[in-house]
Every structure is written in C-alpha cells, then in structure tokens.
Amino acid sequence: MITVMKFGGTSVGSPEALQRVTRIIMNEKNSPVVVASAMSGVTNFLVSCAERLPVNRENIIAEFRKKHVDVAAQLLNDEQMAEFMKDFNVRMRDFKNLLEDENASKDPFYKDNLTSQGERFSTLILSHTLRAAGAKSVALTSEDCGICAEGRPLSGSADLQKTEAMMALKVKPYIDDGVIPVITGFYGIKGDGLPLTFGRGGSDYSAAVVANAMNVDLLEIWTDVDGFMSADPHIIPDAIKIDEMNFGEAAELAYFGAKVLHPRTIEPVRMKHIPLNVRNSFKPEEPGTTIHHLRKQMESMLMSVAIKTDLSIITISSAEIAYHPEMVARIIEKIAENEVVIYSISTSLSTVAFLVHSNDVKSILSKLNTLSPGDIERIEVKNDVALVCAVGDNLLSKCGVSGDIFAAVKEAKANVEMISEGASDVSLNFVVPMSKATDVVKILHRKYVRGESNEGL
C-alpha cells in the first residue's frame, strides 16, 4: 500500500519542523511518497525577486543559499552535510545560471521557473534528513518524475494521463526498492521541459496529481491546522472540527473560502476514489478530517459556513440580454482574458451580474470597455461585499432550508445582494454586505451547526 504525504511550507519551514516531519514519515506504515512545498517565506521571496527584475543577483543568491544551508547544518552531522552539499551545489548552480541568464528572463514562463526554485531545495533538505534518520530516500524534481503540465504562465494544469505513464517508469521503481521519494510540489513540466507552476498554493494540487498518477491508497495533506472546521476559528472561536466529508463538500468549502486545502486538490483524487486526509503536522496525534465518497448523515442542518471577503458585483445592463446569449458569451470571454475567477453569475431579462474579487474590477472594466458600444448600456459596480457558503446534506432536497437560512440573514439585519442555488446540492451561496458578513456567519453557525437557536450572537 502507498500513501502520498504532502507537507506545506510551515511544516518544512524550520529545523524543528523538519525533524517533526521526518518522524511522521518514518512512522508511516504504508510505503510513503512525499511531496513538499518550499520552506515558508521562500516562494514569496522569489515572487518578489521576479517582480523586481533586474535585481541584485549576488544578494539574492547569497540570501537564498544561507537560508537553506543554515537549516541543513542544524539537522546533519559533518559527514552528512558534506553529502548534502554535493547535491545542493548542483541545484544551486542551476539556480544561479537561471538568475544570470538575460535571455531566459524574457521568456513568458520565466517567472514559473524562478518561483518554483524553492521546492527544489526544501525537498533536498528533507530527503537528506530522512537519510540521516536511517531511511533510504531520494530527492526528485518534477522533471525527474515526469509531472507533465500544460496551460498559461503561472496557471498550469497537470496532464494526468501523461503524468501517470511517466511516473510508472520514473518513480515506481524507487518505491519497489524501499526508497522514499521526496518530490517537488507546485509545478510540472511543459512539453519543452521548462517549469509551469500550478498557481499559488498549488503544492496541494501537485500531491493530488502524484496520488492520481500512482493510483495510491491514501493522500495525506499535512498542514498547520487540525483539519476542516465548521467555520473560521478566527470568527467563531467555538468552531467544530469536521471528522469526515465527501469530496463535493470539501471542494465547495475550499473554493468558497476555507483556506485548509487548495480547491483544485479534490478532482484528481475524486476521479480514482482515493481518500484524502487533512492532518496537522504540529499535532500528528490528531486524526484530522477524512474526505471520501461516502459518509454518515449529519444531525445538524449545516456542516460548515465559509466566507470569502473583498468581493465586488459587476452588473452589466443591455436590452433583453437574456435573448442574446452570444452577447453574454462575449462578455465572459472578455473577463476570461485576464483569467479572472468568477465566483457567481446571476441573470435577468436585461442584466447579467458577476461576482469577482475586488482586485480584479479595474482590469475587468478595461476589458469590457473594448466591447462595441451597442453591446452594453450601463455597467455598475457594488464594492465591499462578501460571499457566504453554507454547506450541508442534500440542501436542495430539504423543504424550507433556504427559508431558514435567509431568516438568519434577516436576523443579522443584512440584505442579500446575490444568490447562487442549484449548481450544487451540498451548498447554498449568497452575497451580503461585507460589514454584515461576520454577523451572518455567527448566527448561521449558532443556529444550524451547533443548534443553539435561543442564544444571542
């Protein structure tokens, strides 16, 4: 049996954390395959460098080198450190060449290459730490494994079929020989052999891709929280840890605000019915949240309430737009040019409204202004709204659920600005003013998660 174990940046961000992760891996009963993010802070550092090109390359190399060598030196003895430095210097030479290559920096995928460098060094340290603990281990890059990617710069997707064929050849033999592969998360390789990242937080998705490709028995996402919660603990201090969920519920919560898991993580494992556990690497004794196809029925009406803030509604008016689907298609196409995420769409006879992040409004308006003047009569923007995502069992088939939920919204003295219902049978999503969002979540959680309907806010 094989378990893919993914560790995030905070889980590999210090010598103490790396020692803790090493113990977790060594205690795994199944054959482990490890996927790791860059050490905490490293990707942000590289993104900053990429955005400030040209930069002082010598300072970047010195700072990057020192961070990783200092951590390794606290984990390895002199002999082990000498072996580590052989591998480290090879990867460091490639990193230095990348920074100094003026032609490479003009490539549209250059930022993918630069910002994915951190994973190459965190995995190297972790692999050598495992060896120091007595395990057989090898550090593998996405190039070594054959994780194939396609798509636009900084927004790639894995080619699951090609990746499965490549990993069967390049990774499976290590497992058969009892070697623990430690694989770079966050990016795959394009057809020309150069890196393409899967977006910020994409190491979760990388781990799911590896799990899918190797047809493993379990995927574990090790992070710095106990699992999925019934609400954000920063808003609801008495939020409850969710023991089990199905794939659809986890996907909805991840997409609409829960920061436990990258939303794209679910689909590669759902395709092959691979269970997923979310665990806390700082509290490995905690069982976390199990995500799979089936689970027992809940007693409460809602399982969890998530919230996504800093959103805006863009409403586009045009006479009888409902009878001109080609016009709606042109509008969506314009918005999609900047790869903007649309969280909800609502239509009427003469309007179509889009819910987007507030940071994207300016670029969307500039794109919409390139449409023919005859297509659009008026554009309105409502800022400072938040999306509330209420997740529970079969919400569409339960009579009166919507009424109960919106009664709670009324109790919070909030106005519903937009509703999305029917696209999923496990969630009801609606938009309220950002100033009222916290009150709405508190009331919904109190009434329909904890069942304490007679208490105040």
Q: Is residue 249 part of a domain?
A: no
Both 311 and 218 in one domain: the answer is: no
Q: Both tokens of residue 261?
A: 């898991």
Q: Is residue 286 part of a domain?
A: no
Separation between Cα atoms, residue 30 and residue 219, nearest integer Å:
11
Looking up residue 358, the CATH number of its domain turns out to be 3.30.2130.10
Residues forming beta bridges with residue 305, ordered by sequence position = 390
Listed residues 224, 256, 271: the one ending a domain: 224
Instruction: DSSP for 416-443, please give it.
Output: --EEE-SS-SSEEEEEEEHHHHHHHHHH
For tokens 């045009």, what's the residue?
A: 318
- Find out whether 434 and 441 touch, Cβ atoms under 8 Å: no
Both 214 and 319 in one domain: the answer is: no
Both 44 and 156 in one domain: the answer is: yes
Looking up residue 114, the CATH number of its domain turns out to be 3.40.1160.10
- Find out whether 291 and 244 touch, Cβ atoms under 8 Å: yes
Segment 403-442, tens digit of pLDDT: 889 999 999 999 999 998 656 678 889 999 999 999 999 9
- Find out whether 122 and 45 touch, Cβ atoms under 8 Å: no
Q: Is residue 189 part of a domain?
A: yes
According to DSSP, the β-strands at 2-7 and 31-36 are parallel
* Phi, psi (rounded to 5 degrees) for 302: -115, 145
Which pLDDT score, from 0 to 100, does residue 102 have?
Answer: 77
Burial class for 92, CB neighbours closer than 10 Å (0-12, 13-18, 19+): buried
Both 341 and 434 in one domain: the answer is: yes
Amino acid identity, position 303: M
Q: Is residue 240 part of a domain?
A: no
Asked whether the predicted pLDDT for residue 13 surpasses 60, the reply is: yes
How many domains are contained in the chain?
A: 2
Q: Where are the alpha helices (DSSP H) in 27-159?
A: 42-51, 57-73, 78-100, 110-115, 117-132, 142-145
Confidence (pTM):
0.90
Amino acid identity, position 375: D
Which pLDDT score, from 0 to 100, does residue 457 have?
Answer: 40
Which pLDDT score, from 0 to 100, does residue 423 have?
Answer: 62
Residue 47 burial (CB count, 10 A)? 16
Which pLDDT score, from 0 to 100, does residue 456 have?
Answer: 43
Separation between Cα atoms, residue 405 and residue 334, nearest integer Å:
35
Segment 207-251, tens digit of pLDDT: 999 999 999 999 999 998 899 999 999 899 999 999 999 998 899
Listed residues 224, 242, 265: the one ending a domain: 224
Q: Is residue 386 part of a domain?
A: yes
Domain residue limits at 88: 2-224
Helix (H) or strand (E) holding 149: strand 149-152
Listed residues 209, 224, 239: the one ending a domain: 224
Q: Is residue 292 part of a domain?
A: no
Separation between Cα atoms, residue 184 and residue 177, nearest integer Å:
20
- Find out whether 171 and 33 touch, Cβ atoms under 8 Å: yes
HEC assignment per residue over 336-402: HCCCCCEEEEEECCCEEEEEEEHHHHHHHHHHHCCCCCCCCCEEEEEEEEEEEEEECCCHHHCCCHH
Separation between Cα atoms, residue 258 and residue 308, nearest integer Å:
8
Query: What mean pLDDT is predicted for residues 360-378?
Result: 87
Q: Is residue 243 part of a domain?
A: no
Segment 158-174, tens digit of pLDDT: 999 999 999 999 999 99
